[in-house]
Amino acid sequence: MLKRVMVLIIPLVLLVAACGDDDAATTTAPATGGTAPTAVITISGFDFGDPISVTVGQTVEVRNDDGTPHTWTSTDGGFDSGPIGAGESFTHSFAAPGVYPFLCEIHTSMTGEMTVTG
Ligand SMILES: [Cu+2]
């Protein structure tokens, strides 16, 4: 139940943040108080979805909506979720800007990348 509510609330928060910022080409505008909202990568249908962009220190939540485990693993060793079970999630934040490619170690054809800005 809580998860269902969060699924509804987080996109709403991102939408509100984007609307309140004139130059917001992304959904990463910091919220009032300096803490950016959690960015979400949803794994569904053996796909990481569209690439996302976050800021340094922003929390990234990787959710597995599939019925089988996946991993969210950096291709150059920077991070590794280990297996994320069906319906579970993993959170991470980045300390440095850059473009971070990743894959699922269980299904190596699943790939993606994300951008971290300072
Ligand atoms: Cu996988």
CATH of domain 33-117: 2.60.40.420
Measure CA of the first residue to CA of the last residue in the chain; give whole Å: 35
Measure 95 CA to ligand 1 centroid, in angstroms.
Answer: 25
Give the whole-angstrom CA distance, residue 40 versus residue 62. 6
Measure 109 CA to ligand 1 centroid, in angstroms.
Answer: 8
pLDDT tens digit string along 52-101?
A: 999 999 999 999 999 999 999 999 999 999 999 999 999 999 999 999 99
Measure 99 CA to ligand 1 centroid, in angstroms.
Answer: 21
Measure 63 CA to ligand 1 centroid, in angstroms.
Answer: 12
Give the whole-angstrom CA distance, residue 50 versus residue 69. 20
Measure 75 CA to ligand 1 centroid, in angstroms.
Answer: 14
Q: Where are the domains of the chain?
A: 33-117
pLDDT tens digit string along 9-46?
A: 444 444 444 444 444 344 544 445 567 899 999 999 99
Measure 58 CA to ligand 1 centroid, in angstroms.
Answer: 24
The pTM is what?
0.71
Measure 59 CA to ligand 1 centroid, in angstroms.
Answer: 21
Measure 14 CA to ligand 1 centroid, in angstroms.
Answer: 27
The yes-or-no verdict on residue 6 having pLDDT over 80 is no
| Residue 112, both tokens | 């993606």
